[in-house]
C-alpha cells in the first residue's frame, strides 16, 4: 500500500494535532488565499477568511472521510464559507460586490515593485483577469474559481451545487469564453509567465 | 487542469450531445483553463501563512470546543427545566392549604379561604354546565353548517334560532 502523507496528516488532524493543521495550512494556504482573493475579497478579508476556514476545519475535519479528494472537499467548505460571508455582507449593508475593497488588491499588486517591464505587464494581466472575473455573476465566478483552485471535476461541482452536469458544463464553458474574449480584446500577446513571479506582499 | 479527457466519457453518457460537440466544448474550456493558469501568478507571502498558522495554534481545540458546547447544552437544559418547573408551579391549580390547629385566627383565615375557593369552583362548574346545556339545546342541523339546500322548503324560524346560522337569504 502506497504511503499517503496527506491521509496521515488528516488522521492526525482528526485526533486534534495542531501541527498537522499547520501542515495543511502550509500545503493549501496560498491556494485558498488566492481563491478568496479571486472571489473579490480584499487581502485582509481573504486572510480572515483563511483563518476562519481553518478554525472551522478544527470541527469539520472529524466528519471527513478521506477518499483521495481532500482538495475538493476543502474547497467546497471554503466556497460555502465565502458564500456565507457574501450573504452576510449583502444583508448587512446591501453590498453586492466588494469592488470598492478590490482596489486594495489592485494597489497591492501595483505596489509590488513595478520595476521590470515584464512584471508590470504581468500585473496588467492579473488586473485584466480580475476585471474579467468581476464581470461574471457571483455564482458563475464562484464556479469558475472553485474549479480552477479546487481542481474540482464537473461531476464534483454538479454534486456540490446540486445541478445537472450539463448545466455546470454550459456555465463553465460560457464563463470561460467570456473571460477569454475580454482578455483577448486587447490583443496583447500573453507573456511567458512561467518565468515571472510577483509578490502580493513583497 | 486535465480533467477534460477523464470526464469526456462521463459527460457523453449524461449529456445529449455528440462527441464532437463535447470535444469542442471541452477544448474551449481547456483554453480558458490555460489562460487562467497563465494569469494566476499571485505569490502569497509566507509570513501571511505563518501568521494564520500561529493564530490557529492558539485557537481553542475542537475537543474543548465540543466540551464547551456540551456544557452550554447542559446549562441550557438545566435552565429550561427550571423554567418549566417554575411555570408548572405558577399554573398549578390552587389547593387549600393544610389547616394549622394552633392559632384560631389562622384557622379562621384558612376556612374563609377554603370557602372562597369552593365558591369559585362552583361558579366555574355552573358556567361550564350552562355552556354545555346551551350547546345541547341548540338544534343543530347539517344545513346550519353547510348552508341552505337548494331543494325543499326553507324554515327561516329554525334557522334564526341557531346561533351558528351565519348569513342567510330569508325568503
Average pLDDT for residues B97-101, to the nearest whole number? 55
Closest CA–CA distance from residue A55 to any residue of chain B (Å): 7
Range with lowest mean pLDDT among A153-162, B48-57, B102-111: B102-111
Handedness of CA A62, A68, A74, A77 (dihedral sign): negative
Contact status, residue A129 vs residue B36, Cβ threshold 8 Å: yes
Contact B65 A58 (CB under 8 A): yes
- The gap from C-alpha A30 to its chain's centroid, in whole angstroms, comes to 9
Contact status, residue A79 vs residue A72, Cβ threshold 8 Å: no
Q: Measured between alpha carbons, how far is residue B151 from residues B12, B144, B154, B160 in Å? A: 67, 15, 9, 19
Residues from chain B that touch A62, judged by Cβ atoms under 8 A, are 62
Q: How far is residue A192's CA from residue A82's CA, in Å, rounded to a whole number?
A: 32
Closest CA to A148 of A26, A40, A31, A67: A31
pLDDT tens-digit profile of A86-112?
Answer: 888 887 765 444 444 444 454 444 444
Q: Three-state secondary structure along chain A?
A: CCCCHHHHHHHHHHCCCHHHHHHHHHHHHHHHHHHHHHCCCCHHHHHHHHHHHHHHHHHHHHHCCCCCCHHHHHHHHHHHHHHHHHHHHHHHHCCCCCHHHHHHHHHHHHCCCCCCHHHHHHHHHHHHHHHHHHCCCHHHHHHHHHHHHHCCCHHHHHHHHCCCHHHHHHHHHHHHHHHHHHHHHCCCCCCCHHHCCEECCC
Q: Which single residue is written with the C-alpha cell 478590490?
A: A102
Average pLDDT for residues B40-62, to the nearest whole number? 82
Range with lowest mean pLDDT among B52-61, B123-132, B145-154: B145-154
Name the pTM for this structure: 0.58
Q: Which single residue is written with the C-alpha cell 478579508?
A: A45
Cell numbers that stand for A150 in this block: 479546487
Q: What is the pLDDT of residue B135?
A: 59
Cell numbers that stand for A54 in this block: 481553518
Q: What is the pLDDT of residue A200?
A: 39
Q: What is the pLDDT of residue B159?
A: 45
Closest CA to A138 of A77, A66, A185, A87: A87
Residues from chain B that touch A172, judged by Cβ atoms under 8 A, are 29, 32
Contact A30 B57 (CB under 8 A): no
Q: What is the pLDDT of residue B65?
A: 53
Q: What is the pLDDT of residue A173?
A: 87
Higher pLDDT: B84 or A99? It is B84
Q: Which of A31, A153, A169 to mutate to test the interface with B (most CBs of B within 10 A)?
A: A169
Q: How far is residue B15's CA from residue B106's CA, in Å, rounded to a whole number?
A: 90
Q: What is the pLDDT of residue B77?
A: 74
DSSP assignment of B39-91, as one string? H--EEPPHHHHHHHHHHHHHSPPHHHHHHHHHHHHHHHHHHHHHHHHHHHHHH
Q: Which of A60, A201, A202 to mutate to test the interface with B (most CBs of B within 10 A)?
A: A201
Q: What is the pLDDT of residue B134?
A: 65
Q: Flag whether the ipTM exceeds 0.85.
A: no
Range with lowest mean pLDDT among A1-15, A70-84, B24-38, B152-166: B152-166
Q: What is the pLDDT of residue B124?
A: 81
B67 at the A interface (CB within 8 A)? no
Cell numbers that stand for A42 in this block: 480584499
Contact B48 A33 (CB under 8 A): yes
Q: Measured between alpha carbons, how far is residue A28 from residues A53, A144, B142 in Å? A: 11, 18, 74
Mean pLDDT of chain B: 68
Q: Measured between alpha carbons, how far is residue B97 from residues A137, B106, B147 in Å? A: 72, 11, 53
Give the residue ranges of chain A where pLDDT is below 70: 1-2, 93-126, 186-202
Q: What is the pLDDT of residue A128?
A: 75
Amino acid at each position: 500500500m502506497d504511503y499517503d502523507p496527506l491521509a496521515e496528516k488528516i488522521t492526525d488532524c482528526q485526533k486534534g494535532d495542531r501541527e498537522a493543521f499547520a501542515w495543511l495550512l502550509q500545503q493549501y494556504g496560498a491556494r485558498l488565499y488566492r481563491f478568496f482573493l479571486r472571489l473579490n475579497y480584499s487581502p485582509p478579508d481573504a486572510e480572515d477568511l483563511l483563518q476562519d476556514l481553518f478554525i472551522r476545519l478544527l470541527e469539520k475535519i472529524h466528519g471527513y472521510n478521506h477518499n483521495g479528494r481532500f482538495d475538493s472537499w476543502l474547497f467546497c467548505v471554503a466556497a460555502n464559507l465565502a458564500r456565507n460571508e457574501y450573504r452576510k455582507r449583502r444583508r448587512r449593508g446591501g453590498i453586492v460586490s466588494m469592488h470598492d475593497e478590490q482596489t486594495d488588491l489592485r494597489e497591492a499588486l501595483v505596489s509590488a515593485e513595478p520595476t521590470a517591464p515584464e512584471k508590470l505587464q504581468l500585473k496588467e494581466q492579473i488586473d485584466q483577469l480580475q476585471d474579467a472575473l468581476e464581470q461574471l455573476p457571483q455564482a458563475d465566478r464562484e464556479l469558475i474559481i472553485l474549479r480552477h483552485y479546487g481542481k474540482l471535476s464537473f461531476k464534483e461541482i454538479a454534486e456540490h451545487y446540486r445541478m445537472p452536469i450539463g448545466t455546470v458544463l454550459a456555465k463553465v464553458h460560457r464563463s470561460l469564453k467570456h473571460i477569454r474574449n475580454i482578455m483577448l480584446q486587447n490583443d496583447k500577446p500573453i507573456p511567458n509567465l512561467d518565468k515571472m513571479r510577483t509578490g502580493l506582499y513583497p | 487542469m486535465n480533467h477534460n479527457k477523464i470526464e469526456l466519457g462521463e459527460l457523453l453518457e449524461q449529456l445529449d450531445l455528440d462527441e464532437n460537440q463535447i470535444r469542442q466544448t471541452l477544448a474551449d474550456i481547456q483554453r480558458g483553463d490555460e489562460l487562467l493558469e497563465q494569469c494566476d501568478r499571485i505569490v502569497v507571502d509566507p509570513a501571511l501563512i505563518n501568521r494564520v498558522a500561529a493564530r490557529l495554534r492558539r485557537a481553542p481545540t475542537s475537543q474543548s470546543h465540543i466540551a464547551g458546547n456540551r456544557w452550554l447544552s447542559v446549562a441550557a437544559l438545566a435552565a429550561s427545566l427550571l423554567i418549566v418547573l417554575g411555570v408548572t408551579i405558577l399554573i398549578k391549580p390552587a389547593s387549600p392549604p393544610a389547616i394549622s390547629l394552633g392559632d384560631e385566627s389562622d384557622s379562621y383565615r384558612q376556612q374563609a379561604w377554603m370557602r372562597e375557593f369552593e365558591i369559585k369552583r362552583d361558579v366555574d362548574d355552573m358556567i361550564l354546565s350552562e355552556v354545555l346545556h346551551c350547546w345541547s339545546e341548540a338544534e343543530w342541523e347539517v344545513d346550519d353548517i353547510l348552508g341552505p339546500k337548494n331543494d325543499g322548503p326553507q324554515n327561516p324560524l329554525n334557522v334564526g334560532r341557531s346561533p351558528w346560522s351565519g348569513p342567510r337569504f330569508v325568503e
